[in-house]
């Protein structure tokens, strides 16, 4: 996912005075892209529409505070964390804040792709500053009104209070006066020790709506005149509709229309036949009655054994394109008397968010409106605008809550298809994907093979050489094939570069006609397994304790502290006979996570996971309870990815279908999980994804510790170890 941060560009000109909302509101926004955009705002544009321009915080005369959340809420907690930041520096109660999702508009809101675990780390500094500025402006306005020194006034719970006299004015009363003031250049920010809300485990503001069915996910959205569609798509990406017979489908009561449709994945297309009906059920029944013949010619067909064979051959015969090289790993490995040279394999995976893909679109001729569970509204706007020749400003992308995303809902294919269908029928339409569609059509996390070579020198790593062969997601969007995958080193801890003087990490070009894309923690999810399994193999080769071996090689202070913590909480050194302990530490989106997994023999056969300890160093953070939840969830997803999940292909067609053959972990399979957060004041790192990559290697390292059996291929069955 995008790893770039939003520009740290704080604009005083973006404080707006807007008449609207039944009065005057103080609107504070900041322009993440450039100063130039802020200049577009003119006072006479003050209206509800104008309020949508770039304001992040709106205070209306009643004192109501509205915050615009520029990111999607898909479980990771942005809908809560963004206001928790604002409430702290603005001095308002969280319960008095109303949150709205920003529609797609990257000019206004900056990067809106909810990915790369970037929501907080990309915007918290600006949010803090913006909120503190508003507080100072409101304080100054109050002091002026009361003709008292600003220093005698303070903010609390949406009010400014004059300390000596006890005089009090609400933010609503002060908003107009405050909006006329210049924003302070450098508002005074609280120290971490002064936080009352940030770093506290506050309850999420969106939970109540998730316990009574009132929360609106994409699939729950309803608009007037809505039709329903289900699409029979070619099971092979890049395939074409040769012919179809709609006669039986059209006889299904409720079915109105059947036609060919295509959805774009970047510049590629997937064709299908859409069935339009007056209810979801009728559309699904109509689709069952369809007869479609596909043309699957013109592109290579891959089966999983061929993929694995080809990758294995590539990593044995090709050097690949180096992403990182230092020292002379080849020279050292060539003359090493003893070296380890092993390969690891990881499978393709499907996202399988609980809410299957869906999207509502209304093509109105010269404008397009979209509603749906969307991770990247800006990308949808761009893509749809180009595909239909409608100005970008006239493509309105409305956000709903997402029933999970995991990277899949950052794609623009399903909104594109919905717009294409709406264009054909002229009314709004909701396109529903079945679980089978969602699980089997991709894009998938690519399955990757790794070759890891290493040699020791005086009990430490003398040289390392990593090569990977797997699809590069960037190639689907025009990435250069002459350059290595920039994520080849993802997951690998940067401090290793200091201690391992001879090292290379290379990407061997491997391509197929199977669509791939981001999947939670992206390449760290597979790289982490190979690199941290290999670190364990090197430790054993050196005759060193795997935790101490990492401590020796990760001399950076934060890593040392994290390892100490992990050792202490897991009781690493106190482990008993018949208990297998494994450790793995990975970096993902500027956050380091270490995990220890404890396993034991399962009386029913194989091994069982007894416990997982996780320590996360994400630097500055907002809500520790949300972080705990994200790490718990990442571990559960990681357990499925390591021990169960694998999408396999036969001639480009996926062999799995639904949860009966792509089974999800269930409550009875999940061990106790203990999460710890490192306390420091470093810059914020990501939270939603970094908890996933260490699970698989920590687990297989634990199994090696217990049984002496080294697992180098995922997934593997716990009951068959």
Partner 1 sequence: MSVLKINGKSYTIDADENMPLLWAIRDIAGLTGTKFGCGVAQCGACVVHLDGEAVRSCVTKVSRAQGKQITTIEGLSKNNDHPVQQAWQDIDVPQCGYCHSGQIMSAAVLLRENPNPTDEDIDTAMAGNICRCGTYPRIRKAIHNAAEIQRNSTKS
Partner 2 sequence: MKNPFKINKNIKLKKIAVPVTVLLLTGSLTAFSYNTELTTSTYVKSPDFLEKKKDSVASVKAFEKVYSVLMSPRCMNCHPIGDIPLQGEDSHIHTMQPKRGKDGKGLYAMKCANCHQPENTPGLHAPPGNPNWHLPPADMKMVFEGKTANQLAKQLIDPNQNGHKDMKKLIEHADDGLVLAGWKPAEGLKLPPISHKEFKKAWITWLETGAYAPKQ
For binding to partner 1 (CB under 8 A), which residues are involved?
A: 73-77, 203-204, 206-217, 219-220, 222, 228, 253, 279-281, 352-356, 401-406, 432, 434-435, 625-626, 629-630, 632-637, 658-660, 664-668, 670, 672-673
Instruction: Locate 626 and state its tokens.
Output: 């949300």
What span, in angstroms and rounded, lies between the C-alpha atoms of 64 and 158? 9
Q: How far is the CB of 660 from partner 2 (least distance, A)?
A: 5
Q: How far is the CB of 75 from partner 1 (least distance, A)?
A: 3
Compare residues 267 and 660 and give the one whose CB is closer to partner 2. 660
Residue 281 touching partner 2 (CB under 8 A)? no
Q: Which residues of 453-492 are buried (b: 16+ CB within 10 A; e: fewer)?
A: bbbbeeeebbbbbbbbbbbbbbebeeeeeeebbebbbbbb
Compare residues 48 and 604 and give the one whose CB is closer to partner 1. 604
Supply the DSSP string of 604-646, one letter for each residue: TSSEEEEEEEEEEE-SS-S-HHHHHHHHHHHHHHHHHHHHT--
Task: For residue 490, give the DSSP letter.
Answer: T
Compare residues 412 and 634 and give the one whose CB is closer to partner 1. 634
Compare residues 104 and 218 and give the one whose CB is closer to partner 1. 218
What span, in angstroms and rounded, lies between the C-alpha atoms of 411 and 416? 10
Among 147, 578, 660, 720, indicate the residue that binds partner 2 (CB under 8 A). Answer: 660
Task: For residue 518, give the DSSP letter.
Answer: -
Instruction: Locate 168 and state its tokens.
Output: 């009090």
Residue 658 touching partner 2 (CB under 8 A)? yes
Collapsing DSSP to helix, strand or coil, 388 comes out as helix
How many chain residues are in contact with partner 2, going by CB under 8 A?
A: 7
Residue whose entry in the numeric block shows the structure tokens 């064709």: 271
Question: Which one of partner 1, partner 2, none interacts with residue 48, CB within 5 to 8 A by kind?
Answer: none
Question: How many residues in total does the chain contain?
Answer: 721
- Is the CB of residue 352 less than 8 Å from the CB of residue 405? no
Residue 605 touching partner 2 (CB under 8 A)? no
Residue 666 touching partner 2 (CB under 8 A)? yes
Question: Which one of partner 1, partner 2, none interacts with residue 72, CB within 5 to 8 A by kind?
Answer: none
Instruction: Locate 357 and state its tokens.
Output: 């893909």
Compare residues 40 and 664 and give the one whose CB is closer to partner 2. 664
Q: How far is the CB of 265 from partner 1 (least distance, A)?
A: 23
Q: Which stretch binds partner 2 (CB under 8 A): 47-55, 135-143, 663-671, 707-715?
A: 663-671
Among 168, 196, 222, 657, indicate the residue that binds partner 2 (CB under 8 A). Answer: 657
Residue 672 touching partner 2 (CB under 8 A)? no
Residue 663 touching partner 2 (CB under 8 A)? yes
Q: How far is the CB of 349 from partner 1 (least distance, A)?
A: 12
What span, in angstroms and rounded, lies between the C-alpha atoms of 499 and 363? 57
Residue whose entry in the numeric block shows the structure tokens 């923690």: 521
Q: How far is the CB of 203 from partner 1 (least distance, A)?
A: 6
Q: Which stretch binds partner 2 (CB under 8 A): 275-283, 495-503, 518-526, 657-665?
A: 657-665
Q: How far is the CB of 178 from partner 1 (least distance, A)?
A: 34
Compare residues 333 and 352 and give the one whose CB is closer to partner 2. 352
Cβ-in-10-Å burial (0-12, 13-18, 19+) of 607 comes to buried
Q: Is 146 left (phi over 0), alpha (psi -120 to 50) or beta?
A: alpha
Q: How far is the CB of 693 from partner 1 (least distance, A)?
A: 15
Residue 668 touching partner 2 (CB under 8 A)? yes
What span, in angstroms and rounded, lies between the C-alpha atoms of 349 and 440? 10
Compare residues 36 and 664 and give the one whose CB is closer to partner 2. 664
Q: Which stretch binds partner 2 (CB under 8 A): 35-43, 225-233, 398-406, 662-670?
A: 662-670
Residue 644 touching partner 2 (CB under 8 A)? no
Supply the DSSP string of 310-376, one letter for each residue: HHHHHHHH---EEEEEES-HHHHHHH-SS-EEEEEE--BB----SS--EEEEEE-SS-EEEEE--S-
Residues that bind partner 2 (CB under 8 A): 657-658, 660-661, 663, 666, 668
């Amino acid at each position: 996912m995008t790893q770039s941060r939003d520009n740290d560009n704080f604009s005083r000109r973006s404080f707006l005075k807007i008449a609207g909302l039944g009065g005057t509101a103080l609107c504070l926004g900041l322009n993440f892209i450039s100063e130039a955009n802020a200049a577009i705002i003119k006072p006479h544009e003050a209206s509800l529409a104008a309020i949508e321009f770039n304001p992040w915080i709106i205070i209306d005369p009643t004192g109501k505070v509205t915050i615009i959340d520029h990111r999607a809420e898909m479980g990771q907690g942005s809908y809560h964390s963004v206001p928790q930041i604002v409430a702290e520096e603005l001095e308002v109660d969280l319960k008095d804040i109303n949150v709205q999702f920003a529609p797609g508009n990257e000019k206004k809101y900056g990067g809106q792709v909810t990915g790369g675990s970037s929501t907080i780390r990309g915007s918290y500094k600006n949010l803090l500053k913006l909120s503190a500025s508003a507080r100072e402006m409101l304080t100054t306005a109050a002091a002026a009104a009361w003709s008292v020194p600003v220093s005698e006034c303070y903010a609390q719970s949406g009010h400014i209070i004059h300390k000596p006299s006890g005089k009090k004015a609400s933010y609503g009363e002060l908003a107009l006066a405050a909006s006329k003031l210049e924003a302070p250049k450098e508002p005074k920010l609280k120290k971490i020790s002064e936080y009352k809300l940030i770093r506290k485990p506050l309850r999420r503001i969106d939970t109540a709506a998730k316990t009574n069915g009132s929360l609106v996910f994409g699939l729950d959205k309803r608009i007037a005149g809505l039709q329903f569609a289900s699409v029979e798509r070619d099971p092979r990406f890049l395939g074409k509709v040769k012919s179809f017979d709609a006669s039986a489908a059209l006889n299904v009561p409720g079915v109105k229309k059947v036609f060919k449709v295509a959805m774009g994945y970047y510049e590629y297309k997937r064709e299908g036949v859409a069935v339009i009906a007056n209810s979801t059920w009728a559309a699904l029944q109509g689709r069952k009655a369809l007869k479609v013949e596909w043309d699957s010619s013109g592109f290579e067909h891959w089966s999983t054994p061929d993929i694995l064979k080809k990758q294995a051959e590539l990593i044995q015969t090709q050097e690949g394109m180096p992403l990182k090289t230092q020292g002379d790993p080849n020279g050292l490995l060539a003359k090493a008397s003893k070296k380890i040279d092993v390969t690891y394999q990881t499978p393709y995976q499907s996202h399988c968010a609980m809410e299957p893909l869906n999207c509502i679109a209304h093509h109105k001729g010269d404008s397009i409106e979209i509603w749906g569970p969307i991770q990247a509204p800006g990308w949808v706007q761009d893509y749809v605008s180009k595909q239909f020749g409608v100005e970008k400003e006239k493509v309105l992308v409305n956000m709903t809550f997402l029933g999970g995303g995991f990277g899949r809902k950052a794609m623009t294919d399903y909104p594109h298809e919905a717009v294409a269908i709406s264009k054909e029928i002229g009314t709004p339409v909701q396109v529903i994907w079945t679980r089978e569609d969602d699980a089997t059509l991709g894009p998938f996390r690519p399955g990757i093979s790794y070759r890891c070579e290493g040699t020791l020198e005086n009990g430490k790593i003398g040289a390392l050489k990593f090569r990977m062969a797997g699809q590069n997601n960037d190639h689907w969007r025009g990435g250069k094939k002459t350059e290595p995958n920039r994520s080849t080193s993802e997951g690998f801890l940067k401090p290793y570069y200091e201690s391992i003087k001879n090292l290379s990490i290379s990407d061997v070009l491997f391509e197929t006609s199977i669509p791939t894309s981001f999947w939670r923690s992206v390449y760290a999810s597979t790289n982490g397994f190979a690199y941290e399994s290999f670190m364990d193999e090197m430790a054993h080769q050196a005759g060193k304790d795997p935790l101490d071996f990492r401590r020796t090689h990760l001399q950076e202070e934060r890593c040392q502290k994290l390892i100490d913590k992990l050792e202490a909480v897991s009781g690493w050194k106190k482990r008993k006979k018949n208990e297998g302990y494994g450790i793995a530490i990975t970096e993902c989106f500027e956050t380091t996570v270490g995990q220890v997994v404890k396993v034991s023999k399962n009386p029913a056969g194989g091994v069982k996971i007894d416990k997982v300890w996780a320590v996360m160093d994400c630097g500055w953070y907002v809500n520790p309870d949300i972080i705990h939840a994200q790490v718990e969830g990442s571990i559960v997803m990681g357990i499925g990815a390591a021990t169960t999940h694998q999408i396999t292909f036969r001639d480009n067609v996926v062999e799995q279908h639904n949860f009966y053959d792509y089974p999800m972990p269930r409550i009875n399979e999940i061990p106790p999980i203990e999460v710890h957060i490192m306390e420091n004041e470093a810059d914020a790192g990501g939270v939603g994804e970094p908890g996933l990559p260490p699970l698989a290697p920590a687990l297989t390292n634990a199994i090696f510790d217990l049984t002496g059996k080294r697992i180098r291929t995922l997934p593997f069955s716990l009951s068959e170890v």
